[in-house]
Chain A
């Protein structure tokens, strides 16, 4: 199955600052997905990132707050901008695994704490 390297694994940030999370996949994938998982909650899709086009954001998430880059078929970044304590969550990237029909694989997650 596809292997995703996500970093940083965790960070503690000051409010008002920004953090960029990176995901690197060991194979080329068309779609990458970014999720947020608040403490004790389920996974909520933030946006879908396709190479060569702007990301598609879900209701409640905006590009100014969560800008996404997708420069090639193996890499994507998510930035959490102008952070507040409410942004404290785990952020995960995911890909539709090209080695598995319809399978989806997740990165190890970034645990973000905003103080």
Chain B
């Protein structure tokens, strides 16, 4: 089945700096790659996603890039703000419409 690796596990940045989180996946048939933000005690919330026929997608301060050949995808957050502090999960949609999640990245934005 699908295996998703995510790095780094923790990331600390200064307010206004950029943050990058990287994921790799194993199943070349995976075709959908969402990113979720989970605040403490809350449900995961979709923040951006990308499909396998697209290389990059941007939504205001958030962007996602996908390299199908290398089976890599990354989340980029620019101009980070304290409210960006949370755990971020990448995921890949493979067979059976199932999402397989990465291990998560604890992002801390410091003032």
| A contact set with B: CB distance below 8 Å | 31, 33, 41-45, 48, 56, 59, 92, 94, 96, 102-109
In contact, B46 and A108 (Cβ under 8 angstroms): no
Q: How far is B102's CA from A59's CA once the two chains are assembled, in angstroms?
A: 17
0 or 1 for each of B51-76: is its CB under 8 Å from A? (1 = yes): 10000000000000000000000000
| Chain B: interface size category | 20 to 34
In contact, B93 and A102 (Cβ under 8 angstroms): yes
B residues in contact with A105, CB < 8 Å:
46
In contact, A45 and B43 (Cβ under 8 angstroms): no
In contact, B99 and A33 (Cβ under 8 angstroms): yes
In contact, A42 and B101 (Cβ under 8 angstroms): yes
Q: How far is B31's CA from A102's CA once the two chains are assembled, in angstroms?
A: 10
Contact among B44, B45, B96 with A43 in the assembled complex (CB-CB below 8 Å) = B44
B residues in contact with A33, CB < 8 Å:
98-99
